[in-house]
Structure formats: structure tokens, C-alpha cells
Structure 1
Amino acid sequence: MDDGSAGTLHRLDEFADCAEVRLRVLDIRHRAELIRLVMTERPWGVVHLAARHFIPDCETVFASTADVYAPSDSPHSEHNRVGPQGVYGWSKLLGERLLCEQTDRLGDCESVIARLFNVYGPGDPHPHLLPEILRQARRGRVLHLGDLGAARDFVYVDDVAEALVILLRRAQPGVVNVGTGTAVSGRELVDLVASLTGRHLEARVDAARLRRRSRPVSCAAADRLREIVPWWPRTRLHEGIRHTITAGRCAGHRSAGTWPERDRHNQQPYRQRPTRRAPMSAATTEIIARAVIRRDGQLLLVRQRTKSWSFLPGGHVEPGERVEAALVRELAEELGTGAKVAGFVGAVEHGYVEDGVTHHELNLIFDVAIDAAEPVSQEDHLEFRWLPLDQLADANVRPSALKNALVAADDERTPFWHGWNG
């Protein structure tokens, strides 16, 4: 297989009468055609030799990193001293040097080194700071993070992609910083996420997450990039984070945005309809573990201090997490107490529409015993109270389908199932 661009296909003429050799003229960058060929021929092995060996044919943009710079409290210009602090920075710096040596040797080869600062956006699978904040915030309100005082220059992935294409077409050879010129601390980032999601988030420093060597500040001096790309940057930080959360929610990708929203507990369940409903179009189904904690004829409820309704303690189950373990974790975060799951009470589906998006919850309810003699909220925005069970029917507890199922439960506590008729 060859695309013929080197002009050497005639050298295969000697194999024209060989049944074991078949030539296919194909550019391997044409993915669909390549897949069809492989599925048809089903080779037992592949020797990959496709490449441009004459480097001056290529214009190169090398994606490097801000980690090549020596630590500094001031924004880094392209002429600042380098001094990587880790293997990633060193690997990129060595790549820069190899590229520069090759460029100097060949003479006609042009290359640009783009030093990327902290790139963020939808679908990032790595435990970088922003994805980790979003991931932990889906599980609860207390975040365990590393150095919250360190400041980083966060640049949105779409802007980076557009800048790299422009650098390939327009830039003069050399080094260009790809950053916004503004550094934001970890604590400021948590506050911004809390503001955008309408949730109270508490960030705590986890000593196990602290690095032995840390840069207090990593920020770009982006003057050269702005000379080439006058509109830079296109996406402000709060807009980029909002895009990240929204894109994750719409895609049903829990790594970026399926949230226990600020108003999650006040949504009214859909009214039952006599006609058959259309297939549900919710972006994802969320699993929530809830605790029925009884004591002396009373039921433990929780409410947000600014709201009038209450709900059962508990929270979201993370993908791959055992439901019982998630419930114990949530109670520890909310009440600061140990808990033991005593048995399964029932399951209730719940649905609502928010911002034009259909949401679907599956609430799994368990009998739970807690260690604390008197529960004390560990989160400032939550308030716990005991409600006499004989007052439950008239109480404003949401979702109401769950309250009604508890009221209707028989004395033998037979597990119940309440489907969603939305």
C-alpha cells in the first residue's frame, strides 16, 4: 500500500506477475478507505513504513509545554530561562532541542515550538486540577485536592487547536507561548466552579496530593501570540468551564458534568398521564443512594438552609462505586459520622426537566444506623432535623414520590418500587 507521492511505484513493476504481491494505491490518512481495505484483505501482520523522510517538505509545529521554564512568580516570556522540574518538562525540552538541531542542519526546514500552558476542556480523562474538581464535586461537596495556592494559566482547548493551525500557517520560526496571560489559583478555580454550578463546595488540602516540587505560579506572557492572533484568547475562563460542564452533561459523560444541582431536590415529579408517554430522552440516568435513619419514632431529614423543603440524606453514586459504600461516604461527608447499612427499603424513579434537558434519577433507599448520638451538619449550607414519622405525610419532602412511597410502606417493610410515569 502506497500513495505514490514519492514517484517510485514503478519499482514494483517487477512484481506485476507475482500472485502474492498486490499493490493498492492509497493514502493511509484516508481512514475509511484504509479500514475497508484491511477488512477486505484481513492481513495477518502489518509493516508500517509510511513516512516523509525528506523533512524539508514539512512545516512543523511542535507542541511543547510551559513546564520547560524555570519556576518564577512572573509571567514567562519566550526568552526566559528554562529549567524543567520533572520528567515531562525534560522530555519536551529535549524534543525542542532535537527539532532545533534538525532545523539548523537542514536549513530549509521551518518549525514553530508552541509552549502550551494548562489546557482544559470537555472530555479530559486525566486527573488534572479542573477535571478532578469536577469529578469530586459530582460525588459530594467536600473536595480533597493538592496545593490550592498554586496559580495556573488555564487555556481552553478549542482556542489552543485554532491557535496551532494559525501558527502552522502564519508564524515565523521560533518559540510561542500558548497561554492567556492570566493565572488563577486552585482555590479561585473551586470558587468559580461552585458559582457556575450553584453549589457550595468546600476544598480541603490532601497531603497525599501535594507534590515534592511545585511551581507557585505558571503564567504566560502572551504578547507574541497576540501579534499573530489578535483576538487571543477567544474563550474566557468562566465560559470555558461552563462549556465543559454543559458538554459533559449533554453527552452523558460523567467525567465532566453530571451534577447534583443546587435545585435537584426541589424539582416536582412529572404528573402521571393516562396516555402512553414518548421514550425518555434524558442525557443520562443518575443513581442516588438515600438513607432512612429512624430513631424514637422520628425520621432524619436534611434541607438546604435557604430552601423550605427537605430530603433524605445521601448523594450520588460514582461510576464503579458500590451503592452502599457511596451512601456511607456521603453520610460521613455530610454528618461526620460512621454509618452501617441495615437493609434495602425500596427504589423510586424521579424525573424533571431543567434548562430544556430531561433528567432521570434512580433513588435507591436503605435503612441506615449512624454512630452519632445527635447528627451535626459538617456543611454550612445544610441543616438536619428529626421529623416525627406521623407528620411525614404532610411534610414538604422531595421528591414527593419518594415521600409517598415511605408513607405507604407497610409495617413489615416490604421493599417497594415506584416507577416514573413522566
Structure 2
Amino acid sequence: MNNCDLEKFAISGGKLEPPFQPQVTHYKAIVASNVPKISLDLLTADNGASYNILGGDGSRVISLKEGINTICIEVTAEDGTTKKYVLEVTKLSSSCASLQGLKLSEDLQLLPSFASNVYEYSSTVPYYLSNISIQASISDSKMKVTVNGTDALKPVPLCTGDTLIEVLVFSADGTKSQVYQVIVTRLQLPCFISFTDVSDQTEYECPVSLTALYRPVSIRGSEPKHTFSAPYIDLLTRRLKIDPLDETLLGENWRLPEYELDIKISRATVHCCYAYRGCSSILKLSELGLHAKDCTCKPSPALDAQDVTESKWYKEHVASVQKPDHRVKHVIQFKKRRKIHEERKCRVASATLWCFARLVIIVAAMVDGAWVCITRDLLLFWQMHTGDFPEHQQVMLGVQGILIQLSWRYLYVSSEHVSLYKLEFTFSDLLLLLNLESVCTSSLSCG
């Protein structure tokens, strides 16, 4: 009685997004620029329910204009309960030049995720992947798509570093176009690259790593051109924007990727990285990753103990009962760093105490005559303000403060092991060091 759901909801010339479900009430659809109208295919879940297409003449055939067309369907149950379904149909303009989707083969990830109004992407692939396919989706069959100027279905060969892929889409009427850029980065080969031509080894060498250039980047405006491998120049200029070769300051937009040079390097011929194990293959650098992955001369990742224990060297130097003298007559000497550190601390402490003692004697000699004067002034000052004489401890504290200001403010004592500058400790510590407190007490009583 109160069932106001649709059982079927479809349109001609397009698909609903998301796919129809009775409980979902909002949908979207995109149709080509050459679709003038669509037809609605509707069916209520309850035979007693009815629907009404709001707006227009109520017909199930809807004429479309370029842009967004909003269609509302109201379903009424037998008891009067109503529900509205909303459909937004976007009719593409014949001059629209945008992709509906963009994917890479091998389920590789695009960064950022695809959006029709985002035109720059990047992706990282394994080092052994030598080509890739681009899957570009268009919403209008009259639109054309090319990849790097060729057929979109043709695989794109990858360089050993960065490969710039340009997806060009044309509008249905051919008046507009839009370029989507994808930079595909192959991970660096985990092996040394040996070119067959010695001149290539020198020409394609990074001046920082002294190995083959990987993802070459040059300094804009440098003459002659300064070219580096991207990971190294990025590391060197992370904090200081300075050209490593001539130490000149780098300006804005100094980083210039060398995609053409990357293509040239990838076409150069190289030896297999397992040539030292007997592989004699010579191939293009762009194909080295896949070859190295499946090379028959590639060493096993697991260590075979028999390869070691059955070797001549192992039997002669380890397994033999009669070991060579140089293997058994050796001395291991451990450096007692902790003991050396403790001895050094003791020497520093002794030097410090010696400096303290020397300093106290100097200060005592300097203030021998001033001690009584300072104490007498303190007593008079206290009596004038309080009318009474202070305790012995109060006088000592006052004297300490004055002597510290006079004697320690610009103190600098140095020896071979220690330097003291503006030390922070009380004068009573020094007095206790040389047992001078009794002398000061007697001087105070005499005053």
C-alpha cells in the first residue's frame, strides 16, 4: 500500500551512475554531443503505484540541451506516500575536449587519482618494465585521442629513467584540444651499467656519482650545460640552491628535466650486468632491466653452502687440520676506551682543582685588605636601617655576594686541560677548599 519505489529505471543513450537501486534517489548520466534526446524506461515496484515526470509535458522522451539537464520523477503509492528520483543528464558540448577516464596497464597507480580537470600525473614502475599501455576513455565517439602523437592503443616504450607521455584529446567538432601529461618513472637498475662504447661511458656519466646518468636533469642557463642524475642533484640542492660545478646561485625554475637525453641514453647499447659470470648479451639499456631479471647467469639469491665448503680455499684454510701460520698466529688487541676515558676525566678534574686553588690564593691576596672594609660597611649599613647588628651568617652572605661581583665577574683561567669562564659557585665553596673560613671569621671579629 505504501510502496513508492521504482523497480526499473534506465535511459537510452547513456548509463546511470551509480547503477540503479530502488533505495538510491539521485543519479547522473553523460551523453554524447550528438544525442538530441533520451527516453526514460520506468516501472514501479507496486502495481497500484504511479509515477509522474515533473516539468515539461510529462513525456518519457526528454529533449536535451548542452550542459546539465535535471529530470525529476515523482512516484506515488496507493496510500498517497511519495518519493522523488532525481536524474542529472550532462550533454557534452561538441567543443568539449576532456577525458572521461585514464588508466595505465598492469594496474599501475596514477598520482593523483584521475579527474577530468586535472592534467598532470605521475607513476612509478618497476625497473624491469620496458613498455606501458595507456587506456584513455572518452564520452563521445567522435572525439579523437592520440598518445605521443601515435595511436592510443600502441604500447609506449619506457626510458630507463623518466618517460614523458602526452595524451592529446580532440573535441568532437575538432575545434578544441587538451593535453594530459603522465610522467612514468622506472626505478633505478640495481647494478652497474657498462656501455659497449667507451665514449658513451664518458658522455653519459653523472659528475657527482661517476655512474651512468639516471633521470638526467640540467641546470637552466648553464653554459656548457651542467647535467646530473636527478636523485643526486636533488639531494645537493635540498638546502643550498647552488650549482655543484661552478658554485653559482640557482634561480627560479632552475631544474630542467632532459627527457630527450633520457631517450638517447636508453637507446645506447650495454653489456649484461652479469657479464662477469659469463653472459655475453649486448642489448639496449632500456631492455637491460627485463634481461637482468631473467638472465640465466644471474646468481641465486639463496646461498648454497656447498659452493663454499667444497671450494679449494675453504678446504685449505678452514677445513684442513694444518692451518697456515698466518691464520693461527695472530693477536687481537682490544682498546680499553672506557678506561682511557676515565683517566682523562681524572686528569681534567685534577687540573680543575689546581686552577681553583690557584685562583683562591690570588683572590685572597687581592681582597685581604678589602675584607675588613667590606664587613665594616655592611655592619654600618645594617645598623642604620634596622637599629641592630646582624647575625654572623648574614654578614658572611653579604660579603660573599660582594666578593663574587668583584672577583669572579670577568674571570678567565685556562690550563692545558681545562678552561673556566664566568664560573657559577658560591664563595664559601672556595673558602672551604682551602680552609679559609676560620681566617675570615677572625677578620670579622677583629673588625
Q: Tell me the TM-score normalised to structure 1 length.
A: 0.23
Q: Tell me the TM-score normalised to structure 2 length.
A: 0.22
- Larger Cα-atom Rg: 2
Specify which structure has the bigger relative contact order, considering alpha-carbon pairs within 8 angstroms and separated by 6 or more residues: 1
